[in-house]
Chain A
Amino acid sequence: MASTYKIIDKAILSSSQASIEFTGLGSYSTTYTDLLLMISLRSDNGNYFDNLKITFNSNTTGYKYIAVGGNGSAAGSDVFTSDPADKIIGIINGDTATSNSFASGSIYIPNFSSSNYKSLSIETVNETNASSAYMRIASNMWSNTAAITSVKLQPYSGSNFLTGSSAYLYGIKNS
């Protein structure tokens, strides 16, 4: 792995948690230019999938979203151009997905400390042994000029991420 790509911290759930929040990112603003989250998540939503929400700096406004995806038989798209867009960024497993399976995904956040609006690219896939499972590629914009100092992940319909879910946060520098 490139020396410019290093793990900052990780969350591996040993019990259910309503959210996973990485804080203290301001101290990395001069070390790294970009952030990358690698996720493996499952929520307690009573369906085989759930949506994933993200919140920066505990700020609940300014999020926009566009995505394309499919479920194995049909393609689809979602666009939320008006705030608050529910802070949705991707798809994860719900509690009726195949036992012990978790959704996979990555969330790339370039220039997390810049004074420009923050753009994100997200890939997430729902894992279940069935004829239908969702995958989604999304582009997000957080229309805020503040440096990102915290990132919170949260299930949209479920109350908790389930035990075994994980999120790894990497810092990436451009030189």
Chain B
Amino acid sequence: MPNKLTKLVINCETKEQIEVELTDEEIAQLEADRAKAEVDKAAKEAEDAAKAEAKAELLAKLGITAEEAALLLA
């Protein structure tokens, strides 16, 4: 993060709006959140891929297509 990040703080009581530089702690939290977002995204993609694979295996085992399975469940 090359530039110093700022946040907009709106004091609804005084109607004052100020840009405040993020503290080192807030920047660390932001970076941790972004890293977690990447991990979560990878985990979700892996989960979706595993589900798709399991579904394909089940359909193959049953000898029917996805469309035929949908008809059975309709």
B42 interfacial by beta-carbon distance below 8 Å: no
Which 7 A-B pairs rank lowest in CB-CB distance, beginning with the nearest?
A24-B13, A19-B7, A18-B5, A157-B37, A24-B12, A27-B13, A17-B8
Nearest-neighbor residue (CB-CB) of A10 within chain B? B10
Picked from B11, B22, B36, the residue with its CB within 8 Å of the CB of A86 is: B36
Cβ of B12 and Cβ of A159 under 8 Å apart?
Answer: no
Q: Which residues of B contact A (CB under 8 A)?
A: 1, 5-15, 17, 19, 22, 26, 30, 33-34, 36-38, 40-41
Identify 12 residue pairs between A and B in the complex whose beta-carbon atoms are under 8 Å apart, listed by A's number: A11-B8, A15-B19, A17-B7, A18-B5, A18-B22, A23-B11, A25-B12, A86-B40, A156-B33, A159-B1, A159-B30, A159-B34
**Which residues of chain B have C-beta atoms less than 8 A from A26's C-beta?**
13
CB distance from A148 to the nearest CB of B (A): 12
A53 to B7 CA separation, bound complex (whole angstroms): 14
Q: A156-B33, A159-B34 are in contact. Are A9 and B8 (CB under 8 A)?
A: no
**Count, chain A residues at interface, CB 8 A:** 27
A117 interfacial by beta-carbon distance below 8 Å: no
**Which residues of chain A have C-beta atoms less than 8 A from B7's C-beta?**
17-21, 152
CB distance from A130 to the nearest CB of B (A): 19
CB distance from A7 to the nearest CB of B (A): 10
CB distance from A160 to the nearest CB of B (A): 7
Cβ of B12 and Cβ of A23 under 8 Å apart?
Answer: yes
A142 interfacial by beta-carbon distance below 8 Å: no
A146 interfacial by beta-carbon distance below 8 Å: no
